[in-house]
Amino acid sequence: MNGFKNNNQVKTETSTSLNYFNLLKSNLGTVLLISLVIFLFTLLYVILAQDVYKSNAVLKISEPQGKNILDSPFEAALGSSSTDRYIANEIGVMMNRTIREEVARAVIDSFKVAGNKNNFDLLFYDNNIFSDTDKKVRSDQSLAAQFLENVEIKQMEGLSFIEIAVESGSPSEAALIANSYAKVYKDFNLADSRKQLTKLKEFLADQRDEKFNELITAEDNLKVYQIQGGGVELGQQALTLIQTTSQFEADKNRVQIEMSMAKESLEQLQNELRKRDITVSNYMENQTAQPEIKLLREEIASEQIQKTKALAASNGNLNSSSLVEKYDNKIYNLNTKLNELIKNYRSKVLASSPEELKQLTQEIFQAELKFESLKAQYNQLNQVVSSYDRQFNQLPEKTLELARLERNRQSLEKLYTVLDAKYQEALINEQSTPGNVVIMSDARPPGGPSKPNRPLLAILGLILGFGVAFSFVFLRDYFDKTVKTPEDIEKHSANVLAWIPKFEQKIDKSKKNAEIFVGGASEAAAGESYRTLRTRIQFSKIKDGGKSILVTSSAPQEGKTTVSANLAASFAQSNKKTILLDCDLRIPRVNEVFGGMKSPGFTNYLFKQASFDDILRKTDFENLFYIAAGTIPTNPSEILGSEQMKEFVEKLKENFDIVILDSPPVMTITDAEVLSHIVDMSILVVFAEKTEVDWLIEATNQLTKHGQKSFIGTVLNNFDYNSGYRSYNKYNHSKYYSRVDETKQKEWVKS
């Protein structure tokens, strides 16, 4: 059983493939035409398509040492490394409008310097492809937008490399844009890496310049006072007090500046933490206010101030040095105690922080320590400066103002010196901080275009043309509801008596007997098909005494008259006395086929306007007669269904062996349906690729309803042996007869 199924499956697949082949073969002209048109359009595109050049620049990107605090917890879940995510973010930065517009400006500047239009393509609007003089330079915004289409930035698989690929109609422009992209992004990345240091440097520069201006003012004020005050001089006590006080005041101002910087950094970190986790932020703010830590900071700051005072008062004295050492030991012990408290505090904060926030809380913790420590120092220094101010107020009135001016000058001088040193340090740190981007490979003008691939496009055009053509033919055939093959008729339970082949040449119907193919030299295949039809009719009802045959069609122009005439000639050729009666009282044509007159005809006989001998006409073919329609009456259906018509048909059956009636189409009027009741056999002519399946079904129903028994089958007219899904070449009689003729010619030629 399985073997039987497999054999059927193989046969079905083979039949389907053969059907497709035959469909393609029958529509070969259409397929070739569509394929040729599409191929020609493809060739036209290939010829006119602009050459596109591609140039690449390669960057190596290193991930910053300080990873984003959100990277770690999500890496495993996302199945990607933090480096890949970082590079993906950097690619997004490179495609940002700001970067693109900066690159566009660099390209435009290069064009202004070079001034050679031939080396640029994307830079211009496509106003006129035939004239360079009409080309208009794009704006930087327009060129930046164009980069979205012509610039591709991607990570090289498995590597920390980014490739910048640029396509342009100019090879030099492609390389220029790629290199400009690499340089602009490298500069941007470097500036971004240094932005914190740059911000610090700029802040210190502002403070330094401000204090420098204040120092100049202080020195000018001191000089003016000295000139106006005459010979006022400061004593040793006042000088010592000024030096000590200026030092503390400079330290206080320095600490105040550092505290301002630390506070700004702390606020930024705290705001970031609030965005991430408000609970942890509130907890940390509560912990930083612990009095124990605060008191220790203040005590350490106080001891440091006392140490500074001791250093200022020592002047190398051994007793003072031992006192300083004592302060150091005390400060060390206090720091040890503070570190223990901080360690406990840190463990609490970090333990309560989510994993992704630990680094941020750690940074906040360090910033808080720095800020609170500076704040404690500032408070202590402020107290010290206040105490020295009281001593200043006890100086003699003549020297008090001079002492204040000198103290202010020295304080600003010392502060300026410190700020200048810190500015120089920040400047060095900024310049020494490297970026994360290294240009590994500069873009170079390519030696040839990257596209279009003209040979490939031509091949694809040919394939596409054939695909579109076959799809068109298949869809047209799929949605075509006309009858094409005998199988289409048999699917609807209609018997196929024969199929008449498509004529090999056009028939001139104006000539006498031009439509009779039986026994003629032309259209031998058609003649043989009519003989086949005759044979099959003989084995249907004729052997049972049937003589009258009705030939009709579903609609006009389906060849029923030609079939009727040739069927009659075929019977006559078999020594049967045959008559063809033209019952198409709407558009009679039988007389035209045989070159006779339409009137008088059988209607004239029925109305007793002519005798039987008057209407009976002999054809040029032996045993074949015909009767024309005659005068067209106003009521054809009533005449054809009358008793006189039945008697007339019976009279013909008595005088002839075969009576063939050519009737109007069965779906247009009721004449054929009426006649089907008075004949022995009815035949329906179907025209291949014209008669729709619905027409076939409706016509068959009309010839078989009300218990009619005369319908014996259909004739498929105009059938193309090569058009069917199944191959009918083996039935092609014309090939057989052509071979027979060739054989006869060879035999009759004398040697």
Domain boundary among 175, 194, 213: 194
Domain residue limits at 642: 503-719
What's the whole-number mean pLDDT along residues 505-531?
74
Residue 593, pLDDT above cutoff 80: yes
161 versus 342: which is more confidently predicted? 161
Is the same domain home to 338 and 258? yes
pLDDT averaged over every residue in the chain: 78
Distances (CA, A) of 37 to 25, 30, 62: 19, 11, 54
The pLDDT value given to residue 234: 65
Q: Which DSSP symbol is given to 137?
A: B
Cβ neighbours around 543 below 10 Å, total: 9
Is the same domain home to 213 and 295? yes
CB of 528 closer than 8 Å to CB of 637:
no
CB of 563 closer than 8 Å to CB of 693:
no
Residues facing 711 on adjacent strands:
682
The pLDDT value given to residue 80: 44
Domain boundary among 144, 163, 194: 194
Per-residue H/E/C for 535-549:
HHHHCCCHHHCCCEE
Residue 532 resides in a domain: yes
Cβ neighbours around 434 below 10 Å, total: 11
Is the same domain home to 187 and 239? no
Q: Which residues have a Cβ under 8 Å from the Cβ of 12 and sit 6 or more positions away? A: none
Is the same domain home to 543 and 670? yes
Of 584, 562, 549, whose CA–CA distance to 656 is shortest?
A: 549
Query: Kindly report the CA angle at 51 between 47 and 53, in degrees rounded to 5?
Result: 160
Query: Kindly report the CA angle at 603 between 597 and 609, in degrees rounded to 5?
Result: 90
The pLDDT value given to residue 660: 95
Residue 751 resides in a domain: no
Helices (H) and strands (E) in the chain, counts: 26, 12
Residue 503, pLDDT above cutoff 90: no
Q: Which DSSP symbol is given to 553?
A: E
Distances (CA, A) of 312 to 193, 235, 247, 267, 387: 42, 18, 9, 36, 15
The pLDDT value given to residue 317: 53
Is the same domain home to 534 and 426? no
658 versus 244: which is more confidently predicted? 658
Give the C-alpha separation, 289 to 270, whole Å: 15
Radius of gyration over every alpha carbon of the chain, rounded to an integer in angstroms: 56
What phi, psi does 552 have (nearest 5°)?
Answer: -140, 180
Is the same domain home to 211 and 180? no
- Looking at the structure of the chain, the number of domains it has is 4
Is the omega angle on the peptide bond into residue 445 within 30 degrees of 0, that is, cis?
Answer: no
Residue 748, pLDDT above cutoff 50: no
The pLDDT value given to residue 312: 59
Tell me the one-letter amino acid at 746: K
Is the same domain home to 664 and 542? yes
Residue 228, helix vs strand vs coil:
helix
Distances (CA, A) of 564 to 165, 482, 540: 77, 23, 17
CB of 357 closer than 8 Å to CB of 276:
yes
Is the same domain home to 399 and 465? no
200-231 pLDDT, tens digit each: 778 888 888 888 898 888 878 877 777 776 55
CB burial of residue 149 (10 Å; 0-12, 13-18, 19+): exposed
CB of 271 closer than 8 Å to CB of 429:
no
Residue 602 resides in a domain: yes
Domain boundary among 151, 178, 194: 194
Residue 132, pLDDT above cutoff 70: no
Residue 745 resides in a domain: no
Distances (CA, A) of 689 to 157, 683, 723, 730: 59, 19, 10, 21
Give, to the nearest 10 degrees, the angle between helix 278-288 and helix 358-393: 30
The pLDDT value given to residue 350: 56
Cβ neighbours around 283 below 10 Å, total: 16
Is the same domain home to 62 and 31? no
Cβ neighbours around 341 below 10 Å, total: 13
Residue 734 resides in a domain: no
The pLDDT value given to residue 543: 63
The pLDDT value given to residue 509: 67
Residue 127 resides in a domain: yes
Residue 131, pLDDT above cutoff 80: no
Residue 607 resides in a domain: yes
Q: CATH code at 711?
A: 3.40.50.300
Residue 285, pLDDT above cutoff 80: no
Residue 66, pLDDT above cutoff 50: no
Sheet holding 711-719, edge to edge: 496-501, 711-719, 681-687, 548-553, 658-662, 578-582, 624-627, 617-618
Structure tokens that stand for 650 in this block: 């019976």
CB of 671 closer than 8 Å to CB of 556:
no
Residues facing 151 on adjacent strands:
166
Cβ neighbours around 22 below 10 Å, total: 20
* H helix intervals, 27-139: 28-48, 71-78, 82-94, 97-114
- Dihedral, CA of residue 740, residue 745, residue 746 and residue 747, to nearest 10: 90
Residue 99, pLDDT above cutoff 80: yes
Of 225, 243, 204, 256, whose CA–CA distance to 408 is shortest?
A: 243
What phi, psi does 307 have (nearest 5°)?
Answer: -65, -40
Q: pTM for the complete prediction?
A: 0.51
What's the whole-number mean pLDDT along residues 128-143?
72
Give the C-alpha separation, 166 to 373, whole Å: 55
410 versus 616: which is more confidently predicted? 616
Is the same domain home to 262 and 378? yes
Distances (CA, A) of 113 to 109, 180, 414: 6, 15, 50
Residue 216 resides in a domain: yes
Give the C-alpha separation, 702 to 462, whole Å: 50
CB of 477 closer than 8 Å to CB of 663:
no
Is the same domain home to 375 and 264? yes
Is the same domain home to 86 and 189? yes
The pLDDT value given to residue 371: 75
